[in-house]
Protein backbone atom coordinates (compact mmCIF):
# COMPACT_ATOMS: atom_id res chain seq x y z
CA UNK A 1 0.00 0.00 0.00
CA UNK A 2 1.49 3.35 -0.95
CA UNK A 3 1.53 6.37 1.34
CA UNK A 4 -1.38 8.12 -0.42
CA UNK A 5 -3.56 5.03 -0.19
CA UNK A 6 -2.75 4.65 3.51
CA UNK A 7 -3.61 8.29 4.23
CA UNK A 8 -6.80 8.10 2.18
CA UNK A 9 -7.93 4.98 4.01
CA UNK A 10 -6.96 6.44 7.37
CA UNK A 11 -8.94 9.60 6.63
CA UNK A 12 -11.98 7.52 5.72
CA UNK A 13 -11.72 5.45 8.90
CA UNK A 14 -11.23 8.59 11.01
CA UNK A 15 -14.41 10.13 9.57
CA UNK A 16 -16.30 6.92 10.30
CA UNK A 17 -14.98 6.85 13.87
CA UNK A 18 -16.14 10.42 14.50
CA UNK A 19 -19.59 9.79 13.01
CA UNK A 20 -19.94 6.56 14.97
CA UNK A 21 -19.02 8.32 18.23
CA UNK A 22 -21.96 10.65 17.70
CA UNK A 23 -24.23 7.70 16.94
CA UNK A 24 -23.03 5.88 20.06
CA UNK A 25 -23.73 8.93 22.23
CA UNK A 26 -27.25 9.22 20.80
CA UNK A 27 -27.93 5.53 21.41
CA UNK A 28 -26.59 5.76 24.97
CA UNK A 29 -28.94 8.70 25.62
CA UNK A 30 -31.84 6.70 24.19
CA UNK A 31 -31.12 3.74 26.48
CA UNK A 32 -30.87 6.01 29.51
CA UNK A 33 -34.10 7.81 28.60
CA UNK A 34 -35.96 4.54 28.15
CA UNK A 35 -34.66 3.22 31.49
CA UNK A 36 -35.57 6.46 33.25
CA UNK A 37 -39.10 6.32 31.85
CA UNK A 38 -39.49 2.66 32.82
CA UNK A 39 -39.93 1.61 29.20
CA UNK A 40 -38.62 -1.47 27.42
CA UNK A 41 -34.95 -0.91 26.58
CA UNK A 42 -33.44 -4.32 25.79
CA UNK A 43 -33.64 -3.77 22.02
CA UNK A 44 -31.97 -0.39 22.37
CA UNK A 45 -29.27 -1.94 24.57
CA UNK A 46 -28.62 -4.66 22.01
CA UNK A 47 -28.27 -2.02 19.31
CA UNK A 48 -25.90 -0.08 21.56
CA UNK A 49 -23.72 -3.16 21.99
CA UNK A 50 -23.75 -3.76 18.22
CA UNK A 51 -22.64 -0.16 17.65
CA UNK A 52 -19.88 -0.56 20.23
CA UNK A 53 -18.61 -3.70 18.50
CA UNK A 54 -18.56 -1.90 15.14
CA UNK A 55 -16.62 0.93 16.76
CA UNK A 56 -14.08 -1.54 18.18
CA UNK A 57 -13.57 -2.84 14.64
CA UNK A 58 -13.05 0.70 13.32
CA UNK A 59 -10.54 1.37 16.09
CA UNK A 60 -8.68 -1.81 15.13
CA UNK A 61 -8.66 -0.73 11.49
CA UNK A 62 -7.31 2.67 12.50
CA UNK A 63 -4.57 1.10 14.62
CA UNK A 64 -3.66 -1.27 11.78
CA UNK A 65 -3.31 1.64 9.37
CA UNK A 66 -1.27 3.66 11.83
CA UNK A 67 1.09 0.76 12.39
CA UNK A 68 1.84 0.21 8.69
CA UNK A 69 5.38 1.07 7.71
CA UNK A 70 5.51 4.43 5.98
CA UNK A 71 7.03 4.11 2.50
pLDDT digits (tens, 9 = 90+) for 1-52: 788 999 999 999 999 999 999 999 999 999 999 999 999 999 999 999 999 9
Residue 61 confidence (pLDDT): 95
| Residue 58: partners with Cβ closer than 8 Å, 6 or more residues away | 13, 16, 17, 20
Residue 9 confidence (pLDDT): 94
Taken as a whole, the chain contains a residue count of 71
- 70 has pLDDT over 80: no
| Residue 2: partners with Cβ closer than 8 Å, 6 or more residues away | 71
The tally of domains found in the chain comes to: 1
In a domain, 70, yes or no: no
Q: How many CB atoms lie within 10 A of CB 4?
A: 9
In a domain, 71, yes or no: no
Contact between residue 47 and residue 27 where contact means Cβ atoms under 8 Å apart = yes
In a domain, 11, yes or no: yes
Band of pLDDT at residue 71, cut at 50, 70 and 90: low
In a domain, 53, yes or no: yes
Enter the pTM of the model: 0.86
Domain residues for the domain of 16 are 3-65
Amino acid sequence: MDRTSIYDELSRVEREVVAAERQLAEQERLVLDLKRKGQQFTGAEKELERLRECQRQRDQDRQRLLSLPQP
